[in-house]
Each structure stands twice: as C-alpha cells, then as structure tokens.
A and B are shown apart, each in its own frame.
Chain A
C-alpha cells in the first residue's frame, strides 16, 4: 500500500513538473502577446481618439516586426510598447542577432505567426523573398515617402519594399587629432593627401600618442566594413566607367579598379594601431579606439554618428579616396539596405495594422524623432529632420557638386559566401602582403563574383 502511494505520488510529481514546464514556457513565450492584449482591452476606447492609427482598433490586427538592425532594437522595442499603449494594437518586435538575419527570417517565415513586417534590403533579397512581400504601391506608407530612390521593385514592377532610412559610409575622421599632428582636413582632397597625412601620423604615432587608422579586424563583427563597404569603391568606379548604374547583379566584374581598393586597403592596415598580422581573429574595438582618441581615422558609416559624436564632436566623414582620376569630386557612399516589406501572406487586418504602425513610426513627432536619432534620416514627409553630422557631410558633398557613390555593393551575389571567401583571402594577405596572396584576394573578389553569380542564378 505504501509503495502504491509512493508510486502514485511520484507519478503526480512527474506529471506536475511536466505540466509546469509547459506552462512556464507558454507564459514566457507569450508574455509580450498577453500583456499587449491586456492593455489592448483597457485602452481600446482611447484608440478611437488617437488620430494616427484610428483605423486599427484593438483585436483587429497585430504587428510582428522582424528587425535586422541590432542597434535599433532598444528604440523600437520602446516605440512598439508605446504604440500598443496608445492604440491597443499588439506589437511584437524581434531582432535577429548580427549576421543571422537570413537564418532567422527563414525560420520565422515558416511559422503560422510569421512576421508581418520584415526587411528586404537588396536585389538578392528581392529574388529570394519578393514573392512573400505584398505590393506596397499606393499604400498609405508609400504616400508618405519623399523619395522613390530607396525603393526596391521586382522584375514585374511590384513595389516589394520601401526604404525607411538611408545611410552613408566613408572614412570617419577626427579633425582635432589631424591638426594636432600638424595637418589639416584641407590637405585631404584625394588619395595622395590622405596617404601623406596617414603615413605621417603613423610614423609619429609614438610621440603623438595616437595612430592614423583604428583596427580593421577580420572577424564577423567587423569584416563587413572591408568586404562589403570598402569593396563598394571598386564596384562603383566600374559602374561609373561603364556609364550607367547597375540595375541588376552583373554576371562578372572586370576588376579594373581593384588596384585602387588595394591602395586604400594597404594604407588602412599598414598605418594602424594594430599589426595586420593580428587582425584575423579580431578582438579589437575600432569604435572605442576612435572615441578614445587613439586613432584619427575610422572606416565606418553614418549610423556611428550617435555613438562617436559625444566623444568626438567634430567628427566628420570623408569619401573613399583611392587614387582614381577626378576623385577630388567624390562624395560619400549613400544608399540603404533598410527597406520594409509587408508579408503578403498575412491576414488583411494584420497587413493594415502593420502599415498603420509604419505610418505612425515615420509621422508621429515623438516616434519619428526617436527613429531619426538612431537611423540618421528618414525619407518621409512628416518625419523630423536629421541631426546626423555625417549625413550633413554627405549632403554638403552633394551640394558642392560631388558625385554620390551609390551602394553597388548591394548586388554582391550570394553575399555571405562571397564575403566569407574574401575574408579568408584577406587574412592570408594580412599575414603576408605578397603579390601571390593578393592574387588570392583578386580571385575571391573578381572571379568569386562570377562563380557566386552562377550559383545564385541556378533555380
């Protein structure tokens, strides 16, 4: 009898713990959802009175945004919460970890509660995910746009995704340090000027207490600055030489400007705080090096403005000067990978709620202010104006009649594989800067493009 009681007790505990396990999982998993619905009920009367999203009443639709910009996460989580509080529409925002957006998107899109709002940022993305995006032509959010320049269309002319911000990249410079080293920003108008200044700073780094370039690590958190962004100069000048912008991914590259890429790359790695041989596994914090005044130059983009302008208020951005004829007229690299797409398979109510949320983000004074602070600028009629210094630099170059270097890099075929091979080749080159090793880089850069193009094109 005692045994029976014991076994019954054991059974009970086992089932209880099992159930408890399930219960807990459900509770944590659904936490965001359930609190949102709670407040939805409480605030539903208020929803009608708020003007921005009056059409999306509580319970009619919900928003699930799969965000791919980790630095934006904190801001939009807060905005999502605020939106739910004011309108009652449940908003769920998930941010994919750096470099894992595609994986996350693939698994999330397969779920029954798939993202209603996600990012299709480039031509390859349109090819892969375009069929899952609704046509945004004529929607309320499309009407808010001030520019069509950042929108992505598929081959049938469907408006697959629309830009929610644009960015620029180049070389961030600290004018104060450059003056301290006895130079001025006016000297840097082309590659020779940049080279003179950088090499001089590097030569005297010991006495100056700072070096020319911050570290250019080749680990995943940093290599994209060179395999993605810096590489753009090669693509762009190739495009420019051909006379027209790429409309789709070209089958192959000529590589005629690869030497210019090499000149600037060599300058960056050889006049830096870190020995090029130590870059492979990373571990240096280039942003901190620049902020702390240990380096005068930092290869990055406008999204860094919020992070660096506090410590380096005079920070300014200069173009990729790389020895191309006429580069005195070069501007910054401007474009975007930040384009919203709305899930075509979501219910109509969810699509509507999502579009209303997007409109709110770009037109509500407080919300758009928070977004612009993080993103730099938003090409929407009612968004607040940008205070981003680097974007102002970009606008100034343009006003001065300089050419904008568009983001040809967005066409990189099979982008992850292409860049991974380039990283491996650059690692070899960093350890031993021989012609043979540069040959590897050339293979990865130029031949790799054609190979990946052929692979990506297989259906």
Chain B
C-alpha cells in the first residue's frame, strides 16, 4: 500500500510531463533558444534586415575585438561589476545580519529596504540623475561631466536598488542557521566574531553563492540604469574626432553599435553580443564553482 502511494505521483507526473512542461518548453524555445541560435548565426553575417542576412565569416569578430570603445567598455564594466559585487554583498549581509537580531520594527525595515527593487531601471536612472545633479549643480558640475561621478553614481544607484533584494536572500539563509550550533558555540566560549566567521558565514554559504552570482551577472548585464543615468556621457573626444563614451558599459555599447552606426555595424554588434554571452557565462560558472566548494552540508 505504502509503496503504491509513493509511486503514483511520480508516474502521473511522467504521464503528464508534456502537459506541465510543454508550454514552458515551447515558450523557452521560441523566446530564447531559437533567437539565441539565430543570434549566433547573425554574428557571422552582414545584414540590415534579418531576412536579408549574408554570410561573411568571422570579420565581424575581428572588427569587434579591434574596437577601442568595446575594449574600454569591457574594462569599465569589469571594474564596475567587481566594485558593486563587493559593496552590495557586504552591505546586504550587514543589513540582513542586523535585521535578524530581533530588533524592534525589523519587518518594517525589511519592507522598506526591499522596496527600491520594485522600481524599473529607467525610472531609477532618471530620478537619480536628478538627485545627483541637484547636489552637483551647487558645485557647478553635473553627473554627465565627470567619469568618476558617473561611475560612483551608478554604484550608489545599484546599491540602493539591489541591497534590499540580496538582503532578503541573506535573511532566509541566516534564519536557517541552526540555533543549537550557535548555542554550542557560545557554550564552548566562542566570541561573537568567532561565531560569525566560523559558524554563521559557513552556514549561509549557499546564500552567498546565490547573491554573488546574481550581483556579478547583474553588474555585467547592466543596461537600463546605465542608459538612463548617464547614457555613456562624458565622452572623450579624441583628436581624430572619434569618441570614447567613458561611462558606457558593455551592454549599452552593444546596443549603441547596433542602432547607432552604419549598415555594416549590426553584424559587429551581434558578434559583440556573442562574445559578451561567452564572457558572462564563463564568469558566472567559474564563480559558482568556487563558492560552491565552500558550502557546508548541514
């Protein structure tokens, strides 16, 4: 009897596999797999309209890799992603840690910290541009005039937006740390710091894995906040008249290449996008592997 009952759900799931998974699979194939394959193909083509694509080999990749603005935006994005990864996670963990210490009103704080996440990136970008310029205009400058303002402005914006989300994940992790372990540690005479680093952090390692993965890939993929906050300004106008957009991140660079320039550039933009995918996927997988190793089994 028992055996039969445990078998039934699995069997019926198997039987109805298509019913449950079919819609998702179809949507995933139409919305992701097919465009992805087509995108890879297009990166080897010259095209204005997709239906008129003409295969031209790897010259798009050569052009993409020899594009100064692409290389610049790659470096800029890498620095941005690392700085934001560290700051967001340290702050989110700290806030989560404080809010799990049974202080009054912690539910209210959790809600408040989470709320910025509900606002779209473009809106945030424009609002923060106004806030920053409200302050900076007192000093006769603007966020659009200095690369460093643009950089730190975007960091502040991202922290403000992301800390609340990461905090929720950390809180879930912190609440799952077994009380008896903490109790045992305090009986053994561990200090609070020792408890934090030897007991709590190893136990929330799964949360750290998720959060670092999310903030790293978010940092690399960042687009709308970047577009709305500075749009790449200020540019360095080089003596030959070409411009390097000093706060342009990699996704915005791809977008600008695709729509900004000439007929031949759409394929180059596709090539950049494929390179970008490989980069983000490799980084994400590597980071997952590293942090997973440090996870402990409870």
Contacts and interface: CB of A to CB of B under 8 A. Distances in A.
Interface of A: 4, 7, 11, 14-15, 18, 102-103, 106, 109-110, 127-129, 132, 277-278, 280-281, 283, 414, 416-417, 420-421, 423-425, 427-428, 431-432, 440, 443-444, 446-452, 455-459
Nearest to A432: B140
Contact of A11 (B19, B48, B264): B19
A431 B259 contact: no
Nearest to B126: A281
B51 interface: yes
B49 A110 contact: yes
Interface stretch (B83-91, B214-222, B232-240): B232-240
Contacts of A457: 262
Contacts of B145: 280, 427-428, 431
B48 to A, nearest CB: 7
B243 interface: yes
26 contacts: A15-B23, A102-B259, A103-B259, A106-B48, A110-B49, A127-B263, A129-B48, A277-B140, A277-B142, A281-B143, A414-B260, A417-B243, A417-B261, A420-B245, A421-B243, A427-B142, A427-B234, A432-B140, A444-B243, A447-B239, A447-B241, A448-B237, A448-B243, A451-B241, A452-B241, A458-B264
A425 B237 contact: yes
Contacts of A132: 49
Contacts of B48: 106, 128-129
A448 B242 contact: yes
Contact of A450 (B241, B261, B263): B241
Contacts of B129: 281
B278 interface: no
Interface of B: 12, 16, 19-20, 23, 48-51, 129-130, 133, 137, 140-145, 231-235, 237-243, 245, 256, 259-264
Given A281-B144, A417-B261, A448-B242, 20 more contacts: A106-B259, A110-B49, A128-B48, A132-B49, A277-B137, A277-B142, A280-B133, A280-B144, A281-B129, A283-B130, A414-B262, A416-B259, A417-B243, A417-B256, A424-B237, A425-B237, A440-B237, A443-B238, A448-B237, A456-B262
B141 A446 contact: no
Nearest to B139: A277
A14 B232 CA distance: 44
Nearest to A277: B140
A163 B233 CA distance: 35
Contacts, number: 116
Contacts of B16: 11
Contacts of B234: 424, 427-428
Contacts of A15: 19, 23
A120 to B, nearest CB: 13
Contacts of B232: 420
Given A7-B12, A281-B133, A425-B235, A431 B241 contact: no
B130 A281 contact: yes
A455 B51 CA distance: 24
A443 B239 contact: yes
Contacts of A278: 137
A424 B233 CA distance: 6
Q: Which of A129, A414, A428 has the most CB of B within 10 A?
A: A428
Nearest to A279: B142
A427 B144 contact: yes
A458 B242 contact: no
A417 B237 CA distance: 12
A100 B141 CA distance: 29
B51 A451 contact: no
Nearest to B263: A128
A375 to B, nearest CB: 27
B263 A414 contact: no
Q: Which of B237, B240, B263 has the most CB of A within 10 A?
A: B237
Contacts of A414: 260-262
Contact of B142 (A280, A421, A459): A280
Contacts of B50: 110
A277 B145 CA distance: 10
Q: Which of A106, A414, A417, A455 has the most CB of B within 10 A?
A: A417
A119 B51 CA distance: 21
A93 B49 CA distance: 21
Nearest to A444: B237
A443 B23 contact: no
B235 A447 contact: no
A224 to B, nearest CB: 15
A66 to B, nearest CB: 14
A46 B234 CA distance: 59
A416 B243 contact: no
Given A106-B259, A448-B237, A424 B243 contact: yes
A301 to B, nearest CB: 25
A4 B5 CA distance: 13
B261 A455 contact: yes
Contact of A417 (B12, B133, B231, B260): B260
A217 to B, nearest CB: 12
Given A128-B48, A416-B260, A427 B241 contact: no
A75 B224 CA distance: 32
Contacts of B263: 127-128, 459
A59 to B, nearest CB: 26
Nearest to B234: A424
B237 A421 contact: yes
Contacts of B240: 447, 450-451
A50 to B, nearest CB: 36
A128 B266 CA distance: 12
